[in-house]
Every structure is written in C-alpha cells, then in structure tokens.
Amino acid sequence: MGRQPCCDKLEVKKGPWTTEEDKKLINFILTNGHCCWRALPKLAGLRRCGKSCRLRWTNYLRPDLKRGLLSHDEEQLVIDLHAHLGNKWSKIASRLPGRTDNEIKNHWNTHIKKKLVKMGIDPVTHQPLNQEPNNTDNPNSSSSTSDNILMEPKSRSPKNVQTNSTTTEDESSSTATGQNSSINNENQLLSNITNDEELFSYLWSDDTAKADASRSCSNYYGVGGTLYNEDNIPGARADFPIWSPERVGGKDLMFLDYCQDFGVHDFGF
C-alpha cells in the first residue's frame, strides 16, 4: 500500500521500556483513555511510536493481565482452539481471559509446539506426524483430531500432570478462580460441541462482546493495577497472577505504593 511509517523513526525511542515510560503510559491511559494511539505518545510525553505504546499496554501493562505460565486447562484450550482456528492468536487469546495474543503465541512456539511434536502430533495440522493429513484443504475438518488431542492419554500422563502441577502451581493458588472457572466452562462448552459448525457458531456468537471485553480499556479502568516487583519493574518476570494472594497479599505494600504513584482513585479504590 506504500504507507508512510506510523511515526517519525528518527524521533522515537526503541527497545525495552523503562519504569518511567511505563508510568507515563499508565498514568495517561488511566486518566484519558487511549483515544488515538498515534497521538498518545505526544500527549503522554513519550518518545515512542503509537504502535509501541499500544503493544506495551495490551501485552504488558493492562491491569487485567494474568501473568505466569498457562495452566493445563488454558493450554488444552489453546490447543483445541488452534486446531480449529490456526494461528489466529488474537481470536484464541480472546477466549482466555487475561491472556494476550503475544503471550499465547510465544507459549505456543516455545512450549506447546514441542509438546505436540513429542506426542507425535503435527502442531500445524494437528494430525499424527506419521500420517498424511486427510484433508489439507480444510484445516477445520480436524474436529476428531482436536478430540484426539483432548483425549490424548499422554497429555494426562503422570509425567505431564507433574509438569502441569508445577506450571499450574501459581494458577491453582490464584484467587482468580473466576477466570479459571470461566476457562473450565469454556472447556466444558467446547467438549459438548460435537462438530465444527457448532464450534464456530459458538466461537463467533457474541464475538465482539466476548472477544474484546478484555481489550477495551473501559472495562479495566479501576479493575486493578500492574504490580511492580522488588525492582519496581512492572510485571517483570512476574511469577504470580496479578490477584493471587502471593502478589496481592505479599506485596500489598508495594502495590499501595504503586497506587499512590498513580493515584489510588485512578484504580477505583
């Protein structure tokens, strides 16, 4: 299309975000919302590209983000959705509250892909690796495959259970049980869906409401705040989900400090 760059590349800063920049961005969005990403950096006093701000916000700073590894349930859901949707990470992410497309994409590439290959399943076609796909023209015809994945004994093997028990440790202790139960509900719904038509009608039904609820900032103003670790770096290598007892209870002082930085009222407290 020959588009112009979204911003003056000479003027914008690149690379990792600093705490200061994060604060500016959060502060601005919490008080003004993100009316226009292109204009936001200037208004917020950031020397960043609007895209970069949007990415930083949606992938890292959004208060409703869950952090930490994906739970077993979430992973199963991702696999199942990927079998039907392919690399539509944003669609997949919209089914996992508090998870971002980037996060899921990364997790897929680094963990799930390997896991599936180990299990002898082609991560692209979701067919057994030693078997040619029956219908390559229609990747959506793999409902039985996704069932196979869900029923795959290996995925429930003690080894994997152990793996998942370590990965879900944080999740299971999380107070965000509402989110987990919603995922369980999703899984239950999905398991009740017997064909692709039903699945798609489910997936696309009320899509905008479901899909973008977590993305619309109006939904998370006042919901919570990004937590800072000991180094006061927001969410850096966060090991606990945002609202887990470990984080909320154990680091409440830091959280309050953080709230004070931005004004407690901004978070709806």
Partner DNA sequence: AACCCACGCAACCGCCGTCAC
Partner DNA sequence: CGTGACGGCGGTTGCGTGGGT
For binding to DNA (CB under 7 A), which residues are involved?
1-4, 6, 9, 13-17, 36-39, 49-52, 54-56, 59-60, 69, 87-91, 101-103, 105-107, 109-111, 215, 235
CB of 51 to DNA, least distance (A): 6
Residue with tokens 């029923």: 151
Residue 15 or 158 with smaller CB distance to DNA: 15
CB of 265 to DNA, least distance (A): 26
CB of 3 to DNA, least distance (A): 5
Residue 81 or 256 with smaller CB distance to DNA: 81
Residue 94 or 145 with smaller CB distance to DNA: 94
Residue 156 or 215 with smaller CB distance to DNA: 215
Residue 147 or 215 with smaller CB distance to DNA: 215
Residue 243's contacts (CB-CB under 8 Å, 6 or more residues apart) are 174, 175, 176, 224
Confirm if 236 and 226 have CB atoms less than 8 A apart: no
Q: Which DSSP category does 18 fall into?
A: P
Instruction: Give bridge partners of residue 128 from the DSSP assignment.
Output: 121
Confirm if 100 and 58 have CB atoms less than 8 A apart: yes
CB of 19 to DNA, least distance (A): 10
SS3 128: strand
SS3 237: coil
CB of 28 to DNA, least distance (A): 13
Instruction: Give how far the C-alpha of residue 162 lies from the chain's centroid of Cα atoms, to the nearest Å.
Output: 23
Q: Which of 88, 77, 100, 99 is nearest to 186 (CA)?
A: 77
Q: Which of 26, 171, 3 is nearest to 96 (CA)?
A: 171
CB of 229 to DNA, least distance (A): 11
Residue 19 or 144 with smaller CB distance to DNA: 19
